[in-house]
C-alpha cells in the first residue's frame, strides 16, 4: 500500500534508517490499527463497538507489549536493533492504561512495524502479526 501512496502523490521513499523512532512508531501504530481492524472485520463482522472492543486486545499498549515480548526470538538482528531503538525512545507522554515498561515495549514494536512498512516488507509484517496474535490474547 505504501508504494501506491507514493506513486499517487509522487513521493520518494523515506529511508527508514533516517526516520526518528517515534515517527516510525507513529506510522507503525496506524499499520497496526489497519491490520487488526481488517482481520477482525473479515473474521466476524459486527457492530463497530464490538469490533473496537475486540481490537483493543491487539492495538492497546498492553496487548502490543505482550506481542513484543513473545516475538523477540523471531526478530533478526536488524529488526531487534530497530525494536530497541523504538523501545528506548523518549515519548512526550505515556499510555493511560499501561505501565511505563509496557508502553516502551509497545513503542518498540510499533517502530519496528513502521520500519518494515516503509521498506515495503508487508509479508514480514503479516508474519509477525500472525505469530504475535496469541501472545496478545493471553
Catalytic residue annotation: 29
d(CA 66, CA 20): 24
C-alpha distances (whole Å) from 59 to each of 63, 64, 70, 77, 97 are 6, 6, 15, 25, 12
Q: Other CB atoms closer than 10 Å to residue 49's CB: what's the count?
A: 8
Amino acid at each position: 500500500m505504501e508504494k501506491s501512496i507514493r506513486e499517487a502523490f509522487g513521493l520518494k521513499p523515506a529511508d527508514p534508517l533516517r526516520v526518528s523512532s517515534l515517527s516510525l512508531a507513529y506510522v507503525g501504530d496506524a499499520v497496526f490499527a489497519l491490520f487488526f481492524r481488517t482481520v477482525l472485520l473479515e473474521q466476524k463482522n459486527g457492530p463497530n463497538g464490538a469490533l473496537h472492543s475486540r481490537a483493543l486486545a491487539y492495538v492497546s499498549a498492553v496487548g502490543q507489549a505482550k506481542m513484543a515480548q513473545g516475538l523477540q526470538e523471531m526478530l533478526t538482528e536488524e529488526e531487534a536493533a530497530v525494536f530497541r531503538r523504538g523501545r528506548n525512545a523518549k515519548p512526550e507522554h505515556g499510555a493511560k492504561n499501561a505501565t511505563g515498561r509496557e508502553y516502551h515495549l509497545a513503542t518498540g514494536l510499533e517502530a519496528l512495524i513502521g520500519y518494515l512498512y516503509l521498506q515495503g516488507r508487508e509479508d514480514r509484517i503479516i508474519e509477525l502479526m500472525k505469530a504475535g496474535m496469541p501472545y496478545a490474547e493471553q
